[in-house]
């Protein structure tokens, strides 16, 4: 893998090793602009960038480089609008630290307070938290920020939209006045600009190009499969299609080489490209692919840039990409020229949350499907063979073989002859032994999502009525709906990831004024907000 562009940003060798393990080949625009600035200066920074552009790594990698060893207090605080984002950011930064002894802790409402107190007391370097829970810990004196060197406000406009900017300002008053402040926001409303003026020193504003994340002409599907079964799953997808002509994306060059060799060994017309192959070889491979002498091209994201190939039937995400923007770039390569393309994503047990994050940010629907059974694949193959034989007969393409056929049929039953020819020509192709058994994937769907409901008790809503409404509209059991909070003008509920998707779909029609609008909550309700809502009703269970 060519890490030259990451090396040029000034990252250390230890961090570069972790970047390589993650499969990143080239920094995104926000990473290219932010990382050198954070490493080589002390200025405060405002990053105006959309979600899904790689900004977590843009501030997370420099933070890891700046961490002091054996610090006795919290060194960095990252404020985010939602519990889901707190978990995601903490996990992302944690995945880059390698052997570095940096303790990273997400804290958010709904999580066990005793567990958080125990972890904070044991010593933490980086805290990633929602404003309400962070403020709770400050008031408890379980979180002290007087020595913090960095404060990151991530998705500041979203914190503003849900009314948590007051909490953010209160938190900033407790932090070290010499801290470095980093603010990231997709938009810059006046209130966010005022916070920058009030709490940030001389700062630089970094902006990125706005890209539209959409893929309307692509049918998007995902399959749950264990990592060990991905190749078998891919083969089934290829074989059940009458015409497969597609790009298959991997995260690393090693994965590209391994998968390409496996496909060739299985008898498929395949080849691969990645950052380490020569330009001359790349051009030869692409020429073969464009002329359809090979039907499948395995590639990394960077190697696939600039490929302009018409009539692709499929794009396969053999591995999930680095960010939602890369996902859209990948699947946008099919469904061109007004034709409907198919994008297929394989996810393993630990990738469900990441897939749901992609659907949220890209505002797209990726439906779950079941992998084809071997019996169905063989049935379709036999049907195709019959159709091809009928075509040969109707076109007269078999006349040169009539004499040989007559001789064969004179000595044996016609059915036996045809069966023998099929065995002779297509034994491997039509054998169940060609396919291996696929075990059931155990995808982790234990995570939960907090949802915002636009109706409250002023609309006649109670916890019982809200649960009944959702149950009637979606069929979801009331036992799956927890942490119900009915406020004066709006409400909150918590449900499992998978059920959240059903609810969002059922309540997506904004024109139906009889039903509330439901969306993912931007942050859990803080104590300071609860105190402002006199008519709140809380129900849990």
- 378-397 pLDDT, tens digit per residue, is 888 888 888 888 888 888 88
Give φ, ψ of 92 to 5 degrees. Answer: -65, -50
| 218-371 CATH fold | Rossmann fold (3.40.50)
Dist. CA 495–CA 478, nearest whole Å: 10
Positive or negative, the Cα torsion across 231, 344, 357, 507? negative
Which residue reads 């109670």 in tokens? 462
Same fold, 4-207 and 218-371: yes
Q: Which residue has the tokens 């409404």?
A: 469
pLDDT of residue 149: 95
Is residue 460 over pLDDT 80? yes
Report which DSSP code applies to 195: H
Asked which of 60-64, 120-124, 235-239, 323-327 is least confident by mean pLDDT, the reply is 323-327
∠ Cα 455 458 463 (to 5°) = 60
Highest average pLDDT, of 82-91, 287-296, 501-510, comes from 287-296
238, 244 Cβ separation under 8 angstroms: yes
Return the higher-pLDDT residue of 213 and 416.
Answer: 416
CA 256/CA 271 separation, integer angstroms: 9
Do 217 and 187 form a contact (C-beta atoms < 8 A)? Answer: no
The percentage of residues in the chain with a pLDDT greater than 90, rounded to a whole number, is 35
Domain ranges, ordered by start, for the chain: 4-207, 218-371, 375-434, 448-539
Closest by CA position to 11, among listed 21, 3, 22, 2: 3
Task: Choose between 510 and 38: higher pLDDT.
Answer: 38
* pLDDT level of residue 123 (50, 70, 90 thresholds): very high
User: In the numeric block, which tokens belong to residue 475?
Assistant: 């069929």
The tokens for 313 are 């039937």
141: pLDDT strictly greater than 90: yes
Looking at residue 455, the DSSP 8-state letter turns out to be: -
The predicted pLDDT at position 496 comes to 83
CATH topology of domain 4-207: Rossmann fold (3.40.50)
Q: Report CA-CA distances (Å) from 186 to 102, 189, 408, 484.
A: 29, 10, 74, 30
Radius of gyration of the chain (CA): 28
Residues in the chain: 541
Q: Which of 15, 3, 17, 26 is nearest to 325 (CA)?
A: 26
CA pair distance 312, 342, nearest whole angstrom? 9
What is the assigned CATH class of domain 448-539? alpha beta
Q: Give the torsion through C-alpha atoms of 401, 407, 412, 417, to 10 deg.
A: -10
- Average pLDDT value for the chain: 84
Confidence band for 537, pLDDT divided at 50, 70 and 90:
very low
User: Roughly what angle, to the nearest 10 degrees, separates helices 131-140 and 113-122?
Assistant: 70
């Amino acid at each position: 893998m060519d890490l030259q562009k990451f090396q040029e940003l000034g990252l250390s060798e230890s961090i570069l090793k972790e970047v390589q393990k993650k499969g990143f080949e080239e920094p995104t625009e926000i990473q290219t602009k932010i990382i050198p600035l954070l490493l080589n200066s002390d200025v405060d920074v405002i990053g105006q960038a959309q979600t899904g552009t790689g900004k977590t790594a843009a501030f997370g990698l420099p933070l890891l480089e700046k961490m002091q060893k054996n610090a006795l207090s919290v060194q960095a605080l990252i404020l985010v609008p939602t519990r889901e984002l707190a978990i995601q950011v903490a996990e992302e930064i944690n995945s880059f630290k390698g052997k570095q002894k940096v303790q990273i802790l997400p804290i958010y409402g709904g999580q066990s307070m005793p567990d958080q107190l125990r972890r904070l007391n044991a010593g933490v370097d980086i805290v990633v938290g929602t404003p309400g829970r962070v403020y709770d810990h400050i008031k408890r004196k379980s979180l002290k920020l007087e020595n913090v060197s960095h404060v990151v406000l991530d998705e500041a406009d979203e914190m503003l939209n849900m009314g948590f900017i007051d909490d953010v300002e209160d938190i900033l008053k407790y932090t070290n006045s010499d801290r470095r402040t980093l603010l990231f926001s997709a938009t810059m409303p006046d209130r966010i600009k005022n916070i920058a003026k009030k709490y940030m020193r001389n700062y630089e504003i970094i902006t990125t190009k706005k890209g539209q994340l959409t893929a309307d002409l692509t049918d998007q599907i995902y399959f749950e499969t264990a990592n060990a079964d991905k190749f078998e799953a891919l083969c089934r997808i290829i074989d059940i299609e009458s015409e497969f002509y597609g790009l298959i994306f991997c995260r690393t060059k090693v994965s590209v080489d391994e998968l390409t060799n496996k496909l060739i060994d299985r008898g498929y017309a395949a080849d691969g490209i990645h950052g380490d192959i020569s330009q001359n070889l790349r051009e030869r491979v692409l020429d073969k692919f464009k002329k359809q002498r090979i039907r499948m091209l395995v590639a990394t994201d960077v190697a696939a840039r600039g490929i302009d190939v018409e009539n692709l039937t499929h794009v396969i995400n053999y591995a999930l990409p680095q960010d939602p923007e890369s996902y859209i770039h990948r699947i946008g390569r099919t469904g061109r020229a007004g034709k409907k393309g198919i994008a297929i994503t394989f996810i393993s047990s630990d990738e469900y949350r990441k897939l749901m994050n992609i659907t949220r940010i890209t505002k797209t629907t990726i439906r779950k499907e079941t992998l084809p059974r071997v019996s169905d694949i063989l049935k379709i193959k036999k049907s195709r063979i019959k159709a091809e034989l009928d075509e040969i007969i109707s076109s007269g393409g078999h006349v040169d073989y009539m004499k040989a056929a007559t001789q064969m049929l004179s000595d044996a039953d016609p059915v036996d002859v045809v069966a023998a020819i099929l065995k002779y020509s297509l034994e491997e192709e039509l054998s169940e032994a060609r396919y291996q058994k696929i075990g059931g994937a155990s995808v982790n769907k234990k995570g939960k999502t907090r949802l915002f409901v636009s109706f409250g008790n002023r609309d006649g809503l109670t916890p019982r009525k809200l649960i009944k409404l959702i149950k009637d509209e979606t069929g979801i059991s009331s036992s799956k709906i927890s942490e119900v909070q009915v406020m004066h003008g709006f409400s909150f509920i918590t449900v499992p990831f998978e059920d959240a998707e059903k609810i969002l779909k059922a309540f997506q029609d904004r024109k139906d004024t009889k039903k509330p609008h439901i969306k993912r909550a931007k942050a859990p309700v803080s104590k300071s907000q609860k105190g402002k809502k006199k008519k709140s009703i809380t129900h849990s269970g």
